[in-house]
Amino acid sequence: MLRAIVVVVLAAVAATPACKGSESALPAGEVGGGEPSRVPLVPKDHALYARFEGTAFENACSDDAACSKGGCSSEVCASGDQPPGTCDVPEVQIPAAANCGCVAGECVWWSDGSLTLAAAAEKPTPAEQAGPRCGDVTCAAGETCIEYYGIAGPRGPKFQTCGIPCPHGKCADGKKCITIADGPGPVCQ
């Protein structure tokens, strides 16, 4: 009986890949070990491609461990630990059964080919892309109105400015997270 258990365990170990996700760096559609083919989910011409695939980030990978989901809606698939997003809910959602992983050396959303992604609505005109009102100004698309107190703290006046907060120290689009003392705090610039 013990010999039979050892044989079963050895057979299971032999059938297990040496490294989890090791097949993931193969080109799309070429996955070994009997796993389903990895088909990129988001077409490059999709209106939300840059957002979903985190094109502002370095996305090179050699296996799934290098890729992670990020953004407030977990809509971004990119290399690194929890890539930031814009913290609004996109009109198109990544299907729950989709995977964020390494395909052809790049972190992307993928499926076995059975999932589809809905088309995004037409891009709004620049007037519709404007951000929220912030005092007497309208913030640009992607910016929020940041309220803060100056050096006097809450005893002084409250200030408002348009910007992109970066509480986790990460910014998209090649911007850097800097801290403005006695100002809005950590913001992308």
| pLDDT tens digits along 130-163 | 678 888 888 887 788 888 888 888 888 888 888 8
Mean pLDDT for the chain?
75
CA–CA gap between residue 42 and residue 59 (Å, rounded): 15
Task: Give the model's pLDDT for residue 21.
Answer: 39
Task: Give the model's pLDDT for residue 121.
Answer: 67
23-32, 48-57, 172-181: the lowest-pLDDT one = 23-32
Task: Give the model's pLDDT for residue 11.
Answer: 41
Per DSSP bridges, beta strands 158-163 and 76-79 are unpaired
pTM here is 0.48
- Which range is most confident: 50-64, 124-138, 173-187? 50-64
Task: Give the model's pLDDT for residue 104.
Answer: 92
- Helix (H) or strand (E) holding 110, with range, is strand 106-111
Mean pLDDT across 12-34 = 41
Task: Give the model's pLDDT for residue 148.
Answer: 84
| pLDDT tens digits along 62-73 | 999 999 888 877
| pLDDT tens digits along 83-110 | 777 677 778 888 989 999 999 999 999 9
pLDDT: is 7 or 42 the higher one?
42
Instruction: Identify the CA nearest to 120 among candidates 73, 52, 72.
Output: 52
For residues 147 and 80, is the Cβ–Cβ distance under 8 A?
A: no
CA–CA gap between residue 94 and residue 104 (Å, rounded): 20
Q: Is the confidence at residue 34, as pLDDT, over 90?
A: no
Mean pLDDT across 168-189 = 80
Contacts of 156 (CB under 8 A, 6+ apart): 149, 150
